[in-house]
Amino acid sequence: MKNIDAPQAGFTPTGQLHFGVSLLGPAAEMSFDELRTLAQTAERGLFSLLTLDERYWLREDPGAVSATDPSGSNDVSTLLAALAAVTTNIGLVAAAAPNYDDPADLTHRIASLDKISAGRAAWHILANGAVYGEIALESDEEGIASADGRHGLIESTQRAWETLNRAEPRGPVETLGAFERGGQLYSVGLGALRQPEVRRGPVVIHEAESTDDVTKAVGSADVFISAAASLEEALAFRRDVVTRSLDAGRGANDVKIIQAATFVLAPTAEEAAEKADWMRGQLPESVWDGRAFVGSYAGVADLLLDFARSGAVDGFTLMPWLFADELADIVNHLVPELQARAAYPSDYAASTLRGNLGLPEHGTGASAKATHALPVIEVGDLDDVRLDLDLRMELIVQKL
């Protein structure tokens, strides 16, 4: 392993990696049984993320993306809700553009997925709505298609999610008595009310396509998906994200970086090189990942160890689509090699996606559980309890 310092003061590398898998246009190309098998295989490998992407490969060109859904395709959020029932820990990510779906409907569907999956949902925001055709082209410069428009939408969405997850203020409240007024039964008590805790909503994932994207998104992003990069390039990007996070009033470790990656693995380095040559011949030159991790399982694990220990990235996301057993190969062979090097978890850290990624579960105000004593009136069903007015007031005065 190379001797590389941590990216920046205040940032603390975890030393471990997360894996994610992205499936592009699965509804058009595979049955739900196939999709379930992939999801359960990834979960067996302790993958943190499984992403279903609304974009679709064009059959005649594996490097091109279709502007419209194939006829008869299924809704991504519906597929993810179905996967929530057959998985227990893996994060379920809907990659969708706000231009492509009605924003309010998309917000509601992802919030519903978060409830169904018990906190495992995420929204991967596809930044460039222009690839989706006429809907994006009709947006004006101030619309959702612009970076500023998306930023405002995302902030509004997060506020909506936090409102849905806001807990009611809690006691303890000591009941002093009860009375009826205007046909309504009340109890009167004294208690220490706390500010309601706010659980953050689904994880928000942004593409890191440009410096401008990072600048605008760093205030709302939980995760950045970065392009394939060398270790030195990844460290430079980490330093930039940490600086921008701190400038935005966030912590140095509050934004995670997951790097897109291609793995070409085999028992030996020679076999992996032959496999990579064959793969490259099947793809347009523009699609081939020149920074692909090619090698034996142990050799690639050693390379990834540098990324983990230096804190250059928090993990990698891959897209298995050329070989049916590619994902299982990573789960069965690469994951154990990384675990042997203490660079990959041996179990899920939490039941929620935020907990697994090491992201805060609650809003910034949740930790300041301010309390103050005051009279409390609780509306509720008190059967036929009645108190004389004088007795009621005497009890309240005595307590106060």
| 298 — pLDDT class (breaks 50, 70, 90) | very high
Helices (H), 57-146: 76-84, 103-116, 134-137
Q: Does residue 342 contact residue 17 with C-beta atoms inside 8 Å?
A: no
Output the DSSP codes for 185-197.
EEEEEEEEEEPPP
Question: In this predicted model, which residue has the larger pLDDT, 53 or 353?
Answer: 353
pLDDT number for residue 159: 79
How high does pLDDT run on average in the chain? Answer: 79
CA distances to 131, 317, 367 from 64, rounded to whole Å, are 11, 19, 47
Backbone phi and psi for residue 89, each to the nearest 5 degrees, phi listed first: -130, -30
Three-state secondary structure call for residue 179: strand
Instruction: Choose from 137-151, 190-204, 245-259 the range with maximum mean pLDDT.
Output: 245-259
The whole-number pLDDT of residue 151 equals 72
pLDDT-derived band of residue 63, with 50, 70 and 90 as boundaries? Answer: low
Cis-peptide into 62, omega within 30 deg: no
Rounded Cα gap, residues 91 and 81, in angstroms: 11
Mean pLDDT of 193-210: 78
pLDDT of residue 149: 65
pLDDT average, residue stretch 312-324: 84
Phi, psi of 252 (to 5 degrees): -65, -25
pLDDT band at 266 (very low <50, low <70, confident <90, very high): very high
Residue 130: band (very low, low, confident or very high) from pLDDT cuts 50, 70, 90: very low
Which residues contact residue 74 at a Cβ distance below 8 angstroms, ignoring those fewer than 6 apart?
27
Q: For residue 92, what are its two tokens?
A: 């379920």
Q: What's residue 75's pLDDT?
A: 78
Identify the pLDDT of residue 61.
53
Collapsed DSSP state (helix, strand, coil) of residue 317: strand
Q: Is the pLDDT of residue 385 over 70?
A: no
Least confident span in 46-60, 112-126, 308-322: 46-60
In percent, the amount of the chain with pLDDT more than 70 equals 66
pTM of the predicted protein model: 0.78
Return the pLDDT at 135: 33
Task: Decide if pLDDT at 317 tops 90.
Answer: yes
- What is the residue-wise DSSP string for 202-260? SEEEEE--SHHHHHHHTTT-SEEEEPP--HHHHHHHHHHHHHHHHHTT--TTSSEEEEE
CA proximity to 222, closest of 296, 322, 122, 144: 122
| Confidence label for 170 from pLDDT (cuts 50, 70 and 90) | low
Would you state the structure tokens that stand for residue 286, as one six-digit string? Answer: 């523009």
Q: What confidence tens digit (pLDDT) does each residue in 181-194 have?
A: 667 666 666 665 55
The mean pLDDT value for 261-284 works out to: 92
What Cα–Cα distance (Å) separates residue 306 from each residue in 94, 103, 182? Answer: 30, 40, 71
Label residue 360 by pLDDT band (50, 70, 90).
confident
